[in-house]
């Protein structure tokens, strides 16, 4: 199929709108039964995952409309783009764990006690991170957020502002999970989560840029954030998602994430653009 030219940035509102239109109703329906998302049912689980994979499904559909089969192929090949320096794998796997280690040390210094640690063994966390990446669980989000949206936002706003804007949108996309029973975010502080997700978005954008747009590495980091949370931040009994009341580990996590984000934003904002570590097909993001 002939090249139809780059997809304009004006397609971004369509991408975001369609992603929300698919995800939010799917999640609310999946959580509508007694027990919420924990309720059994094959159809309920399928609909839940349709919502989870909506960013990727919408991104692939829009790419197919704008760039055809070649564009979709170029987008999906980034899922296997792993020829980068070892340090970026270490960064992807270890960044959030390092943040949590800092939380433990500061908590100890401030209170004289250690925070509550997860009972899951560290090697199981690493195994879950690797398995989640290999089976493509994070692809449902990363194809859309970092594969489709981030390159277009960067072209329009620059990487620093793009990573912040995408972080806010990414966090708001998760909002239903704060109201649906059975989710790990139910009743927790959404404003605090909004700040954390935005800071994580900045760090993932930094990794994305330094690895030449690799979605494999952003999937790995996304999986690590989900699976290496060895100091839980959940506040037991929380019921108001719009409160600022949260656990001390949650606030310390947010503070350290923003220390890292501030560093990455400063580097992104340098006058000289960051070099890509590997060539990227610019015909797709446009």
Mean pLDDT score of the chain: 90
Q: Which of 271, 128, 148 is nearest to 208 (CA)?
A: 148
CA distance 258 to 243: 20
Confidence at residue 10, expressed as pLDDT on a 0 to 100 scale = 58
Joined together, the tokens standing for residue 76 give 């999906």
Mean pLDDT for 93-120 is: 96
Angle at which helices 159-173 and 11-30 pack, to 10 degrees? 30
Confidence at residue 37, expressed as pLDDT on a 0 to 100 scale = 84
Whether residue 282 has pLDDT greater than 50:
no
Q: Which of 257, 59, 24 is nearest to 142 (CA)?
A: 59
Whether residue 272 has pLDDT greater than 60:
no
Tens digits of residue pLDDT in 30-42: 988 887 887 778 8
Tens digits of residue pLDDT in 188-212: 999 999 999 999 999 999 999 999 9
Confidence at residue 4, expressed as pLDDT on a 0 to 100 scale = 41
Tens digits of residue pLDDT in 45-87: 999 999 999 999 999 999 999 999 999 999 999 999 999 999 9
Q: Which residue has the tokens 């089969």?
A: 69
Whether residue 283 has pLDDT greater than 50:
no
């Amino acid at each position: 199929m002939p090249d139809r030219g780059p997809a304009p940035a004006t397609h971004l509102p369509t991408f975001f709108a369609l992603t929300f239109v698919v995800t939010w109703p799917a999640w609310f329906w999946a959580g509508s039964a007694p027990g919420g998302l924990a309720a059994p049912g094959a159809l309920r689980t399928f609909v839940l995952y349709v919502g989870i994979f909506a960013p990727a499904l919408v991104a692939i559909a829009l790419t197919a409309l704008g760039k055809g089969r070649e564009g979709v192929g170029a987008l999906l090949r980034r899922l296997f783009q792993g020829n980068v320096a070892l340090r970026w794998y270490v960064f992807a796997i270890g960044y959030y764990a390092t943040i949590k280690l800092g939380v433990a040390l500061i908590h100890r210094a401030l209170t004289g006690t250690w925070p509550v640690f997860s009972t899951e063994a560290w090697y199981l966390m690493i195994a879950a991170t690797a398995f989640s990446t290999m089976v493509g669980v994070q692809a449902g989000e990363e194809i859309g957020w970092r594969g489709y949206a981030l390159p277009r936002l960067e072209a329009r706003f620059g990487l620093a502002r793009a990573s912040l804007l995408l972080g806010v949108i990414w966090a708001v996309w998760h909002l239903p999970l704060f109201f649906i029973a059975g989710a790990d975010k139910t009743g927790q502080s959404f404003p605090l989560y909004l700040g954390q997700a935005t800071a994580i978005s900045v760090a993932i954008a930094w990794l994305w840029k330094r690895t030449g747009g690799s979605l494999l590495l952003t999937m790995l980091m996304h999986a690590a954030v989900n699976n290496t949370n060895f100091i839980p931040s959940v506040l037991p009994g929380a019921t108001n998602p719009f409160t600022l009341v949260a656990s001390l580990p949650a606030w310390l996590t947010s503070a350290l994430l923003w220390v890292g984000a501030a560093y990455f934003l400063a580097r992104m904002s340098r006058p000289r653009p960051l070099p890509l570590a590997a060539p990227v097909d610019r015909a797709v993001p446009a």
